[in-house]
Amino acid sequence: MENDSRCKFLRLRPKKLLLWLNIVCLDAPLVAVAWQWLFGHCLHMGVSIWARGALFLTSWLIYLVDRLADALSLEANSPRSARQRFCLRHKKVWLSLILVVGLIDAAIILLRLNREVIMSGTCLGGVAALYLAINYAFSEVWEVVPLKEITVGFLFSAGTLLVVIPKFALGLSNMGRSVVLVAMLLFAILCSLNCMSIAVWERELDRAQRKHSIATRCPGIGISIRVFCVFVALAALLMAAIDSSLLPIALSLSVSAALLVILHFVSIGDDERTALADLVLLTPLAFFFVASFL
């Protein structure tokens, strides 16, 4: 009996580890910091530890608030994903975490970031707040205009590169600026494709919960998503051929896009697939570890 219990634990452990980052909303902040570092590294821009901390905490805070609002908006008899069940089970802890993260984030932003970044972040934060308000108070708009996932992807990429964008043009030629802008655009598209892929995998859950997504509005969007992933991968490699200094960004974009396509064909539970969708965007970590040891 003891051996059976041990075998059961070993079978469950990888699944729990796979879901954990997604359940507590830590996967997206890690992705944001990883890509911020990669762009800063390739463009030879110093990003302070405070800017990285603010990005991590701000993105974590937004995802915590979004997850809580998402879980609370469900009807009592609605089916729920693993992340929604966890949030509802630990609602008081979740609220406390939002308060603590929010206070620490505000302190770092006000005391350690410059005025330009604060102003830009405030504007972007206002747009994010508007998105959340529309998503939960007027969610029917996504049925008419199925741009929710694209909006999230571009907001996420803008927040990730908020510190980098004002500085990237310094010392670059017109061609250099154009190539970097293409890299940023491809990153935004990749983030959108990530969100759209999750919408495809959770189409039936969204329908059961009476939610709207690009997948509920356009059931055949899955094929288009995979095609665009291939486009991102090839465009990134072409970009690297034009400017070799952006090779780490190009390889990260290409590998992440390829892995996202593979996830569409892997036989795995929806909760695990959703968790992996964010983890495949952590490809910049490979270059971070290489740069740390060289």
Give the tens place of pLDDT for each residue, 189-232. 999 999 999 999 999 999 999 999 999 999 999 999 999 999 99
Res 269 pLDDT > 70: yes
Provide the mean pLDDT of the chain: 91
- Decide if 293 is inside a domain: no
Query: What range defines the domain where residue 228 resides?
Result: 14-283
Whether residue 9 lies inside any domain: the answer is no
Q: Does some domain include residue 57?
A: yes
Residue found by looking up tokens 């029917």 in the block: 140
Predicted confidence band at 170 (pLDDT cuts at 50, 70, 90)? low
Instruction: Tell the residue number behind the tokens 């905490």, with chain if given.
Output: 57
Q: What is the mean pLDDT of residues 74-83?
A: 92
The answer to whether residue 5 is domain-embedded is no
d(CA 233, CA 190): 9
Mean pLDDT throughout 54-80? 95
pTM of the full predicted structure? 0.93
Amino acid code (one letter) for 290 = V
The whole-number pLDDT of residue 171 equals 62
When divided into structural domains, the chain yields a total of 1
Residue at 1 is within a domain: no
Q: Quick check: is 121 in a domain?
A: yes
Residue 292 lies in a domain: no
Q: Which residue has the tokens 């969100």?
A: 195
Interatomic CA distance for residues 5 and 288, integer angstroms: 39
Instruction: Classify 169 as helix, strand or coil.
Output: coil
Q: Is residue 243 part of a domain?
A: yes
Of 3, 15, 10, the C-alpha closest to 271 is 15
